[in-house]
Structure 1
């Protein structure tokens, strides 16, 4: 470009062709661009037809999303992965890609509220029916499966009572019925469990949780068989649910410390659960490390390296005790309607994550007025126990 060009022209084209030099940055570059330029139509057509690697328009995929997808696929031991704008975009795209009118889905009744809304509100309008079950009860799952069942949707660890489905047994049951097992592994990540190694067909994550790790990067990701992933990718593209480059870039930065963080989360949750189990203000603790947990044996078999930072506990004083505890903890352990940050947070499921469910359903799920879900961070466990000791003193 000539220096004699008009300033407006030079400003519009500034920095478009600056080579990076010989040294490569340790952090992947952020390509915050929605479109790419090509020298001729033949080059563009080769990319659009899948004959040559490249990117054209952001909705069809981009560099930073591809880097994140490759990283997650590698960690999960998957043939491929596809990223999306949110965790709900990931599971919605998956179901819409693999089920159609007249098909049937079996899903864990303990599933995340957003997943329950998709299954109970949106899919029926498309002619896709769902039967809710306790995924930890194989007999109940088996009774729910029909010849039209296409998907069995479960969570590796359920929210908020941290139940532990037997994934290998569920995979066998699903496959014997001609269905596919899809696992939400948001609570555990590939650092603690790789569902594909236990027979699952697909695994998906909400990126803002443990994968990103810092409550900053938005997104979702699905990993598994390349053919299935390609079908889900088409669904993501058609729905306009593509993950943005900046979120993909941030998620990859968080992913680099995943193993270290998950070890710290697991250690902290186990120690805090042990403390709470002995506290007189607490009537019950839900954590797979506890001997009274209904799936303690399954957890020990599937999770030798720990079960992450999630636990829940019930206060003897009910809802009033919950309000008092939240007030006493203040900014030390804040109330937050999400989870898996490096800092510990808590939430009241009955009035937040599960607020749309009727009272009788909440009771059936064990979501009482006195139940608190605790997302244990990477802090020193003794500090957390000290803060909880002080806050529980008045209960």
Structure 2
């Protein structure tokens, strides 16, 4: 820059021409910018045509999002990935990219309440037929699939009752009709399960949960074959659902400890589940490590390293839930999310699944006494002591 330029000119162009130097930072740089400059049209056209990696405008993809995509794709064993502004943007972009008017989608009725809202409130008005099934009942899934079915949507572990679908068997069923198996692996992450290795076509996550790990970074991500990801990316761009650079950067920081965190979450949840299962004030515990879990054998096969930090348990009713929340205030907070490094709890019937009719809640086993517990990385003995004191009497 000409140092004789006016101050106004120099200030407007500040920092644009400062080289980073020869050394590489241990932490990927944050490129908090919405647009990029090019030396000539040929360079810009090569990037826009996909001939070389680069960035032009943030909605089409940016440096920090691309780094996060490469890292998560590598962890998932996938050729490619695309980042989105939220987990719901990830599944919305996926469905709208791969299904349209006249097509059919089959989904596990046990999925997260937000996903249910997309399936039941939005897709039908776009002409996409939706059939809800029990994802753990292979016969029911098989009956629902038709030649018009484009997608079979399931969760690796369901929210909130932690059921365990048999992914290899579901993949075979979907393959018979040419449908794509799409797995929400938010509860488990690639540290515990890589769905693509078990026959899934696509895997997606809500980034604020275990991938980011600290309830700070917003976003979603979908991983899978390059051709499918390219179609989803185009839809995400059209919807304006791109993740922000700062959120992608924060998620990358959280990912560095993913393996260690998931080990701690899994150990803690298993220990807490065992304690709660033996407590006289607890009616039932939903966790795959327990012998009475309906898919305990499937969980042992698919999850040799553990099943993460999620479990749910039932008390006698809403008054008991309210007492427990009050007694735990200050130690285990009521929080409408999950997968933080600290333990939290929520009441699904009045939060995540509040829009479902009572008959459907009953069918899903979401009672007024059900609590979902997201076990953090604290020492399990401390959590057990806090829960025990709150449940006393």
SS at match of 1:282: coil
SS at match of 2:353: coil
The match for 2:330 is: 331
Q: What CA distance in whole angstroms lies between the structure 2 residues aligned with 1:295 and 1:393?
A: 30
The match for 2:356 is: 357
Q: What CA distance in whole angstroms lies between the structure 2 residues aligned with 1:278 and 1:356?
A: 32
The match for 2:365 is: 366
Does 1:311 find its partner at 2:311?
yes
The match for 2:269 is: 269
The match for 1:298 is: 298
Q: What CA distance in whole angstroms lies between the structure 1 residues aligned with 2:113 and 2:143?
A: 24
Alignment of 1:1-395 (within 5 A): 1-316=1-316, 318-394=317-393
Q: What CA distance in whole angstroms lies between the structure 2 residues aligned with 1:54 and 1:163?
A: 42
Aligned-residue offset at 1:4: 2.3
> Cα deviations across residues 254-284 of structure 1 (Å, max 9, x unaligned)?
0110000000000000000000001111000
- Normalising by structure 2, what TM-score? 0.99
> Cα deviations across residues 139-185 of structure 1 (Å, max 9, x unaligned)?
00001111110100000000000000000000000001111100000
SS at match of 1:68: helix
> Cα deviations across residues 78-136 of structure 1 (Å, max 9, x unaligned)?
01000000000000000000001100000000011111111111111110010000000
5+ residue gaps, structure 1? none
SS at match of 2:72: helix
Q: What CA distance in whole angstroms lies between the structure 2 residues aligned with 1:53 and 1:312?
A: 44
Aligned-residue offset at 1:344: 0.1
Q: What CA distance in whole angstroms lies between the structure 1 residues aligned with 2:47 and 2:6?
A: 34
SS at match of 2:118: helix
Aligned-residue offset at 1:22: 1.6
Q: What CA distance in whole angstroms lies between the structure 2 residues aligned with 1:233 and 1:24?
A: 29
SS at match of 2:283: strand
> Cα deviations across residues 49-88 of structure 1 (Å, max 9, x unaligned)?
2222211000000000000000000000001000000000
Aligned-residue offset at 1:25: 0.6
- Normalising by structure 1, what TM-score? 0.99
5+ residue gaps, structure 2? none
Q: What CA distance in whole angstroms lies between the structure 2 residues aligned with 1:187 and 1:263?
A: 13
Aligned-residue offset at 1:2: 2.4
Please say which of residues 3-12 and 104-113 is displaced more in the overlay: 3-12
